[in-house]
Structure 1
Amino acid sequence: MQPRADTAGLIVATLSKAMRRAITLADAGLASSAKLPLNLGLTYPEVLAEGVEAVTQLWQADLDEASVVLKGSVSSPAWSDASLAWLLAASSSVDLAGRGPHVGESDITRFRATIDLFAQMDNRFGGEHARRSLIHYLATDGTRLLHGQASERTRRRLLSEVAEATLLAAWMSYDSGLHSLAQRYFVQALGLAQAADNRLLAASILDAMSHQATFVGRYREAANLARAARQGTTGVATPTLTAHFYAMEARAVARLGDAVACDRALAHAVREFERRNPDDDPEWIRYFDDAELAAEFGHCFRDLGRPAVANQYATQCLGAGGDGTYLRSDFFATMVLADAHLGAGEAEQACFVALDALKIGEQLRSARCVSYLREFSDRLAAVGKSPASEGFHEQATGFSLWQQVLDGQ
């Protein structure tokens, strides 16, 4: 028999203590990966029942540490298939027959408030901090709510909330370096948003897929995902959302070295952004302000080899101030500034700024942050040894994120 997830967790915890080393569910023969299809979560659900089954299975497989979802690389066909299926999908039915207790507005309000807390922890401490706790909550309360009985209006609202929560699971998995798992969560979040008839949220999920695709080096796919988000919301997206879609396209083509396409996308982003009215925006995109747009410009110009302009925008972003709510974003912007100084031949200043980033990131648990540092380390090594670089390495060893860079070398 296969014990429940919490029971299996107690078993491996006891074994780990007895053997004085970490024992995983797979080590103990308790993972259920052998029963799971290899494409779990990668297939865009055609009907709501398929989507509910896939996402609840995926949450449980994640908790079970099933290698089928945790290992492996991302699938380019999964991105293109999901985006095409969403673009062509008709309005879906939500006539899934619930078997559980009645679900009302109070249930959804509690669910939303809890997910908001996880989102705050993600922004402040990184995806690795509370990711597993979020998945456990989704596998319990999320599953219960999805199988509950509700009116069509309530069910659509519930599906939107669960789609947002699954999107958060995707972001936190992506931030933790679990890219295959994150992609599966993105695809299922997209299906839930489509079932909820929430086209703006669905497009934002494609936009997030584009972000991940750029990060893992699939730049053409990333540009196409951002374009699909824009195309699928023509006439209904707010200017803020459209500006973000253009910014994601710009990030992708900048990595390809296509300066003309990048400049064009950024110009469109600015034009749309200048038309925005934050009061018209969904709550989940209101964070995208002048500072966030400047951060996107900084990334693009760094990747295009324009350090002076990248410096200008990264400085503008950091100069906006903040209360630490978006600590990870502050870290990224600071690292872009460090890269810009390095690209301009200012190694000493680059090292000074990178140390500032390490101080900002001391509370963060994020594989993406480690990746930014690893890129900086490679660029610094290419410059050659200097008193500035030697001093940086000496001071950086005292920070946890830098230790992770060293451990990965």
Structure 2
Amino acid sequence: MASSSQASRAVPNLAFRRLRGQRSPGEFAAAVRRAAREIGEQVSCDARYIGRVEAGEIRCPNYAYERVFLHMFPGLTLADLGFTPRERVRGRGAAPQAGPIHPCCPFDGSLHNSPSDSNRDSDEESDVLRRAFMTSGPTTVAASLGFGLGSVPAPGGPPGEAAGRVGETEVNAVEEAVRRIRLLDDRHGADGLYQRAARPLRAAYALLDACTITRRSTAERLHAGAGELAISVGWLAHDSGRFDDARSHYAEALATARVAGDPALEAHAFCNTSFLARDAGRHREAVRTAQAGQRAARQIASPRLLSLLALREAGGWAGLGDRTSCEQSLARAHTYFERGASDADPEWMSFFGEPELEALRAQCWSALGDWSRAAGHARRAAGLQDRRFTRNLALYRAELAADLARAGAPEEAAAAGDRVLDLMDEVRSSRIQTILADTARTLLPHRRTPGVGTFLDRHVSAFRRA
């Protein structure tokens, strides 16, 4: 459905279509992901993305996709690939907004990426998608997607109120909101994002409840998108210490998965529920939900997904103090991980590489009280982590500091803690702050040790500013 003048002006990218050749959009998307891995990039390319490029909806790719495409077609320029110069895309008029909006952010402008982040992650989406989740509430979201103001009733509205129709534009907007939340969480952590992220979630479920969806494929995508959005918002609640809210969002995602018969979404919901249960001290639940996730994941040809779920199970066993079962789960996770990445790996698993594998191993050994072994894995996790993923880098360094402090290495722990504090202007995560506070308390008796006093003073100062 053409719900904006921008969409109606889209010019098909015939040059890009010729480069795809005889491959299907899905096969070409798989080739893009393989090329990305060859140069150390992470892109979530699928057949829909290729279709949108070929339809002219994406006039210029972001910088990550640009590097991948130029790697795939050496000697060609973006113009040769059929794209519009970036300066021309950036220069087009913006929609009226109530305040400053970062081009990558579906929320308000109170949390900005740095200028370098803006350049690296400049929005490649059409104006329709950029505006889709910038306003609050289902009615205004529906209006920005091209519905009339009364098309989508607010929750609790009159049952007879007219319903709109949901098509590609609305589903793309839901999926884009998920990507935006994940991007911002990777860069900045959950604190400050959670309340704003709840707005597009409410709007997505309002679309499900109030609108007519005529195509089965569209309905499946909207259910999957709404479920993934619930998990993403649940993770923001989880990481910022709102465990009850997180549990509710994960349960909502699980219910959506069951209604839609979507094993990939079900596995994801169980994976996060297991993680939450472990953090909340419900270790038996962590084991059982991880096992349920593995049953769902066996319908998907993704060894990496099974590896992550085995690690979640290992974390539950570690919390129960069952070293044997934990080691068995860790061994199973390692075996799955060594089978490598697959084209069937879910898009949300882009974070799960060797650094996260090492970090989850570290958490297991820490829960079992083997601090030195935990510190070894945490050190590898921090050393392997790409610096672009600031939140995870800060987390791994914080866990390393905690393990070193308990392993009887206060000077090294303070040095690791200092490196976390170096990142705290960029990252806001209650999880990381809690780990760092616990480490500071552990190091208090060692204040006279070189470096420890400096770290403790910096830590106090940082928390006062916060």
Normalised by the length of structure 1, the TM-score is: 0.70
- With over 3 angstroms needed to count, the CA separation of the structure-2 counterparts of 1:392 and 1:246, relative to structure 1, is same
1:97-246 to structure 2, matched below 5 A, reads 100-140=163-203, 142-150=205-213, 151-236=215-300, 238-246=302-310
Q: For the residues of structure 2 that align with 1:116 and 1:181, how far apart are their CA atoms?
A: 21
Q: For the residues of structure 2 that align with 1:360 and 1:56, how far apart are their CA atoms?
A: 40
| 1:332 counterpart = 2:395 | yes
Deviation at 1:304, TM superposition (A): 2.1
Deviation at 1:403, TM superposition (A): 6.1
Deviation at 1:268, TM superposition (A): 0.4
Code of the aligned partner of 1:203: A
Code of the aligned partner of 2:438: E
1:349 maps to which of 407, 412, 428: 412
What secondary structure, in the 3-state scheme, does the structure 2 residue paired with 1:133 have? helix
Q: For the residues of structure 1 that align with 2:298 and 2:277, how far apart are their CA atoms?
A: 23
Deviation at 1:116, TM superposition (A): 1.3
1:369 maps to which of 418, 429, 432: 432
What secondary structure, in the 3-state scheme, does the structure 1 residue paired with 2:290 have? helix
What secondary structure, in the 3-state scheme, does the structure 1 residue paired with 2:241 have? coil
Alignment check: 8 A CA contact 2:241 2:430 kept = yes
Deviations 1:146-190 (A, max 9, x none): 421112221111000000001111111112221111111110111
- With over 3 angstroms needed to count, the CA separation of the structure-2 counterparts of 1:319 and 1:265, relative to structure 1, is same
| 1:247 counterpart = 2:311 | yes
Deviation at 1:99, TM superposition (A): 5.3
| 1:257 counterpart = 2:321 | yes
Query: Displaced runs of 4+ in structure 1, greater than 4 A?
Result: none
- With over 3 angstroms needed to count, the CA separation of the structure-2 counterparts of 1:99 and 1:320, relative to structure 1, is farther
Deviation at 1:384, TM superposition (A): 5.2
Alignment check: 8 A CA contact 1:310 1:340 kept = yes
What secondary structure, in the 3-state scheme, does the structure 2 residue paired with 1:361 have? coil
What secondary structure, in the 3-state scheme, does the structure 1 residue paired with 2:297 have? coil
What secondary structure, in the 3-state scheme, does the structure 2 residue paired with 1:217 have? coil
**What stretches of structure 2 of length at least 5 have no aligned partner?**
1-153
1:58-77 to structure 2, matched below 5 A, reads none
- With over 3 angstroms needed to count, the CA separation of the structure-2 counterparts of 1:131 and 1:275, relative to structure 1, is same
Name the one with the larger helix percent: 1
1:276 maps to which of 337, 340, 347: 340
1:249-328 to structure 2, matched below 5 A, reads 249-324=313-388, 326-328=389-391
**What stretches of structure 1 of length at least 5 have no aligned partner?**
1-54, 61-96, 405-409
- With over 3 angstroms needed to count, the CA separation of the structure-2 counterparts of 1:112 and 1:231, relative to structure 1, is closer
Alignment check: 8 A CA contact 1:246 1:268 kept = yes
- With over 3 angstroms needed to count, the CA separation of the structure-2 counterparts of 1:371 and 1:249, relative to structure 1, is same
Q: Please name the residue that 1:64 is paired with.
A: none
Which is further off, 229-238 or 334-343?
229-238
Higher RCO, 1 or 2 (CA under 8 Å, sep at least 6)?
1
Deviation at 1:263, TM superposition (A): 1.0
Q: For the residues of structure 1 that align with 2:385 and 2:245, how far apart are their CA atoms?
A: 34
Matched residues, number: 310
- With over 3 angstroms needed to count, the CA separation of the structure-2 counterparts of 1:232 and 1:116, relative to structure 1, is closer
Code of the aligned partner of 2:262: N
Code of the aligned partner of 2:454: G
Code of the aligned partner of 2:250: F
Normalised by the length of structure 2, the TM-score is: 0.62
Deviation at 1:98, TM superposition (A): 11
Which is further off, 202-211 or 365-374?
365-374
- With over 3 angstroms needed to count, the CA separation of the structure-2 counterparts of 1:201 and 1:56, relative to structure 1, is farther
Give aligned-pair identity as a percent: 25
Code of the aligned partner of 2:448: S
Alignment check: 8 A CA contact 2:306 2:333 kept = yes
